[in-house]
Structures are given as C-alpha cells and as structure tokens.
Copies of this chain bind each other. A is one copy, B any other.
Amino acid sequence: MTNQVFFGSFVHTPTLDTIEYLHDTIVAVEAKGTILAVESLPPIGRHNPLAWIRATLVPSLGWEANTPITATRPGQFFFPGFIDTHLHASQYPNVGIFGKSTLLDWLNKYTFPLEASLRDLAKARRVYGRCIRKTLSHGTTTAAYYATVDVPATNLLADLCLHAGQRALVGRVCMDQHAFSPDYYRDETPEEAEAATRACMDHIARIDPEHKLLRPVLTPRFAPSCTPDLLGRLGRLHKEGNWPIQTHISENRDEIALVKDLFKDTVPPCKGAEDGLPSYAGVYDHFGLLTPQTILAHGVHLTEAEASLIRDRGSKVSHCPCSNSAITSGAARVRWLLDRGIEVGLGTDMSGGYSPSILEAARLASLVSRHVAMGGDDAAKLSVEEVLFLATVGGAHVVGMGDRLGLFRPGMLWDAQLIGLGMVDANGNTSTGNEDDPAAMTNGTGAAAATEEDVGQMLVEDTNVDVFGWETWEDRIAKWLFNGDDRNTKKVWVNGRLVHDRSAPLFGAPAANGADDVETVSP
C-alpha cells in the first residue's frame, strides 16, 4: 500500500440532520489508510488543481512524486462507505424468498435448512464469496455478519472477508436451546457452543492479529435459541476482551411472547411490568449482554422501560426496515429511539430483508418512517440527510468505530465510495462523469463507445438516476438516494485499499492488489 491523494467533491453527514458538501477539496491518505489531512484547494492551485497537487502538495507531505491522485469528474463525488450493521451472509441465496411468512415460521421453513447446508464448505465458499462481492459492489465497506453454527464455515467467511478487503465483524451463531433450535442445526451443549465460539475468535486473531479488518463478534442468535447457561457464558466471555456482541431483539410479537415464557423462571420480572414477566431487553441484561459493544437488531416493539435500559447500558440498535416490512414484523420507531438517546444504524438483514444494499435500506428507512408518521406522529419522518447519516456515521457508532469511520476527517480511515451520477447539463450537453474514459460510455454489452454527437440527449450511461443538469447538489443526493443502485458505485475503498472497481473486468477487485478472484483463497 502507498500514500494517496483524493481530490474533488466530498459529501458526508457530520450530524444527524446535516449534509456537508466539500468541493475543490483535497484528502491525503497515508499508506495504512488513515486520513492525514482534509483541506480546501488554495486559490493558487485552482488554475490546474492536479498539477498543483503533484508539484506542491505532494512534496510538502514528503511523499513520492508518483503518489496516486484520484479525482472526481463532473457528476461524481466521494461518499463514506456504507456500514451494514446486521446481515446474515449465510442466508444470501434466499434473498427475496419469504412468501407470506413471519419470523418464527420463516426461520423454520426457509432459514435453518439453508444455514445448516453450509456445513458443505464448497457451498459456503460460493455463498459467502458472492455475498461479499455483492455487498462491496453496493458500497458496503463494513459488515456485521452472522455466519452459521459451523466453525470451519465461519472461519471461511472471515478468510474471504480478509481476502476481499471488506471490514467485518464475523459471528459464529450460538444456539443450543432445544425449544427453538432444530435437531439438525444447533450447538449440542453450552460448553460446546462456547468452545466453538472461542475457536472462531482464535482463527480471526491468527489471520488478522491487529484486527485491521476483522473482529470476532459474540453472536447469541436470539434469546429463544439460547439456554440461560449459554447466555451467561457469552456474557462472561464478553468481559474477557470487551468483545462486540450482536443479537436480535423485539422483532416480532410472537417472538417476544416466546422469550417471556422461556425465561420467566430464570430472569426476574421487568420492574413495573404489568404481566409480571421479564422483558426481552431485561433477559439480555440479566446475562451481561447489554453493553456499549452490543448491537441489537430490530427493536421494533421495545417498551419505554426497555428503551431506558438500553440507553443506560449504551447498547445500539440496528434498524432493518426492509426485513421488518417484508416479513411483517412491524414499523420500527427510529425517531423514538433517537429521541431516547439510543444510537441507531442501518442493516440489510439479508435474507429477512431482500436487498443487499444499504442505500436501499436508507430509502426504506425513509418510507417506513413515513408509515410511522401516518400513525399520527408527523415528527417521525426521516429526511434524506438523516437516513444517510444512519447509513454511515450512525452505523460507525453501532459497530463501535465512531471515532474511525463515517466521515472525511483527519484520523479517520479511508473507507469510501466514489459515486457517479449520469448527467446532462442545462444546455443539453452530456457529462457522464466519465467523459474522458470512452470505455465507460458503453451500455453494458461491450458495444463501441459513443461519441458526444451520437449521444444527443439520450441516456449516456447505464444508470437509473437521471440528472438533467439544473438540479442542486441537495436534489442530486435525493435522486441518488431514491433511484441509485450499485451502478452508481464506481469504486470502493477500505483502509485505503481499492476493493471494488466497476471498470475492472467482471467486478473483480483490481488485479494490482492480487485479489482479483476471491475464489483462490484457501480456507
């Protein structure tokens, strides 16, 4: 890896309700991927920015004369990488396949059989490899992954993330509760579950000792799948190294009733609860699993008492709107959570959610917030700025990296994406953001590049975002949020390394990184 300079337009969300547009800006990234400086181009450099950067800025940093400089073109901007705070890599082949099911029957019918089948490492390699490639192509630079119960397959997921260069929390699924874990797919005892979890943690420590990309995450599937003994062991294991924890909470009403029933003899009743039963959050807290390192997926039906407890413990919530709507779990009240001081990020929750895209999760967070508003709370609506904040800065806090990810700031890591929107300017001139790259002006079929004259005012780039040229930057970001997809994600970097490039054959990582085929890594 080498030092790098990025130049042009940068867009990020410093606070929940603001977007900052940095134009004519220089971001210097040192070889290990940390942002060294974010500065405006000085007036003296404006005549020829790239020449000025190379002749003046690069030497002033003491960097090599041939330091790579990546610049945005018209219609392009850098945006922080997306953070997917909750997804099941093992369920990726089932995206879109859920029928009319809801959580508990969905698990038994679609999910457990698929997860169990990934004991076959050849199958796991295909599934995980394609999940990583697909999420990277949608700009996901950090993913909090559930794998399966199986140790070798979970270790393979970690290997593949490391090789592909995706930042990941990798969790081996813990589930030993016979009441809600099928015979064919579970940990046989709490002891075995703990040992298997430690084996995966050891593997990650071995392949990424400094945790530059990977961290293990303790993953009690969800309370109904775990015995009290296992939850207690995981709580103690957390304390050993302040390890991250991920689990599900309060996704579905039947699930909540099941939790109360399963733990009514083990966990004290929730204080003030009319039913005299423990709360879902109270169960996790009882076993030491409600910590500042804890990611709680869903939280659709949390009570005020639970929200207070979660806030007091500093735990975070992963909002998964696509999943919550698709399997009819409910409409999570994100504004309500934020107002209570709980940090929130977004999750695709594949395959409860059908989409691999955090941009789509942001879009659906916007829609679901409007469905909450239809219930009478107009303040529930989330703005463009707010959902993009949740997709980046919010997610960074949820995965415990709020100080390193989510913004273009000195000291943060260069986990970023280059976004390109096809545009036609107000005079009808085309500007694809790739106008000096003829190869980029074809249409997905290898046809010869078109000239400007041929193009007229037709679509000039394969994109679902039509920019006419008169739009403000705010309008363009809104258009990207609502109609953008992986075609707009031109390049993706993690720790300064280019890990996805749509201009590379077959979307492989660039050959220069020696990682053009994720299939070549050995398990």
The reply to whether the CB of A458 lies closer than 8 angstroms to some CB of chain B is: yes
Chain B contacts for A486, CB-based, 8 A: 464
Asked whether, in the complex, the Cβ of A374 is within 8 Å of the Cβ of B331, the reply is yes
The reply to whether the CB of A272 lies closer than 8 angstroms to some CB of chain B is: no
Chain B contacts for A450, CB-based, 8 A: 505-506
The reply to whether the CB of A248 lies closer than 8 angstroms to some CB of chain B is: no
- A277 to chain B minimum Cβ distance, whole angstroms, is 23
In the complex, which residues 466-506 of chain A have their Cβ closer than 8 Å to any Cβ of chain B?
Answer: 466, 468, 470-471, 475, 478-483, 485-487, 502-506
The reply to whether the CB of A25 lies closer than 8 angstroms to some CB of chain B is: no
The reply to whether the CB of A218 lies closer than 8 angstroms to some CB of chain B is: no
Q: Provide the bound-state CA to CA distance between A455 and B133, in Å.
A: 13
Chain B contacts for A506, CB-based, 8 A: 443, 447, 450, 454-455, 458-460
In the complex, which residues 122-160 of chain A have their Cβ closer than 8 Å to any Cβ of chain B?
Answer: 126-127, 129-130, 133-134, 137
Which chain B residue shows the least CB distance to A300?
B374
Asked whether, in the complex, the Cβ of A445 is within 8 Å of the Cβ of B445, the reply is no
Asked whether, in the complex, the Cβ of A354 is within 8 Å of the Cβ of B96, the reply is no
The reply to whether the CB of A45 lies closer than 8 angstroms to some CB of chain B is: no
In the complex, which residues 432-465 of chain A have their Cβ closer than 8 Å to any Cβ of chain B?
Answer: 438-450, 454-460, 462, 464
Chain B contacts for A428, CB-based, 8 A: 126
Q: Provide the bound-state CA to CA distance between A424 and B446, in Å.
A: 21
Q: Pick from B330, B374, B443, B449: contact of A507, CB below 8 A.
A: B443
- A125 to chain B minimum Cβ distance, whole angstroms, is 8
Chain B contacts for A98, CB-based, 8 A: 478
How many residues of chain A get a CB closer than 8 Å to chain B's CBs? Answer: 82
Chain B contacts for A502, CB-based, 8 A: 443-445
Chain B contacts for A189, CB-based, 8 A: none
Asked whether, in the complex, the Cβ of A444 is within 8 Å of the Cβ of B462, the reply is yes
The reply to whether the CB of A100 lies closer than 8 angstroms to some CB of chain B is: yes
Chain B contacts for A137, CB-based, 8 A: 459
Asked whether, in the complex, the Cβ of A130 is within 8 Å of the Cβ of B508, the reply is no
Q: Provide the bound-state CA to CA distance between A455 and B330, in Å.
A: 41
Q: Provide the bound-state CA to CA distance between A331 and B356, in Å.
A: 25
A93 and B468 contact, Cβ closer than 8 Å, known pairs A130-B457, A328-B374, A371-B325: yes
Asked whether, in the complex, the Cβ of A443 is within 8 Å of the Cβ of B325, the reply is no
Which chain B residue shows the least CB distance to A459?
B507
Chain B contacts for A464, CB-based, 8 A: 356, 485-486
Asked whether, in the complex, the Cβ of B330 is within 8 Å of the Cβ of A374, the reply is yes
Chain B contacts for A483, CB-based, 8 A: 95-96, 354-356
The reply to whether the CB of A10 lies closer than 8 angstroms to some CB of chain B is: no
The reply to whether the CB of A519 lies closer than 8 angstroms to some CB of chain B is: yes
Chain B contacts for A331, CB-based, 8 A: 371, 374
- A362 to chain B minimum Cβ distance, whole angstroms, is 12
Asked whether, in the complex, the Cβ of B126 is within 8 Å of the Cβ of A468, the reply is yes
Which chain B residue shows the least CB distance to A379?
B100
- A140 to chain B minimum Cβ distance, whole angstroms, is 14
Q: Provide the bound-state CA to CA distance between A469 and B358, in Å.
A: 26
Asked whether, in the complex, the Cβ of A505 is within 8 Å of the Cβ of B370, the reply is no
The reply to whether the CB of A107 lies closer than 8 angstroms to some CB of chain B is: no
Chain B contacts for A130, CB-based, 8 A: 457-459, 466, 468
Asked whether, in the complex, the Cβ of A466 is within 8 Å of the Cβ of B507, the reply is no
Q: Provide the bound-state CA to CA distance between A370 and B127, in Å.
A: 29
Chain B contacts for A471, CB-based, 8 A: 93, 97
The reply to whether the CB of A383 lies closer than 8 angstroms to some CB of chain B is: yes
Q: Provide the bound-state CA to CA distance between A464 and B446, in Å.
A: 19
Q: Pick from B96, B126, B127, B462: contact of A482, CB below 8 A.
A: B96
Starting from the known contacts A99-B383, A129-B458, A445-B504, 20 additional A-B residue pairs (CB-CB under 8 Å) come to A93-B470, A95-B483, A96-B478, A99-B478, A126-B468, A127-B468, A133-B458, A133-B459, A134-B466, A326-B366, A364-B367, A446-B449, A447-B503, A454-B505, A454-B506, A458-B518, A459-B506, A459-B507, A462-B462, A464-B485
A positions within 8 Å CB-CB of B: 92-93, 95-100, 126-127, 129-130, 133-134, 137, 325-328, 330-331, 354-356, 364, 366-367, 370-371, 373-374, 381, 383-384, 424, 428, 438-450, 454-460, 462, 464, 466, 468, 470-471, 475, 478-483, 485-487, 502-508, 517-519
15 pairs from A and B in contact (CB 8 Å cutoff): A99-B384, A130-B458, A134-B459, A137-B459, A328-B381, A331-B374, A354-B483, A439-B446, A442-B444, A442-B445, A442-B446, A444-B502, A457-B519, A459-B506, A460-B506
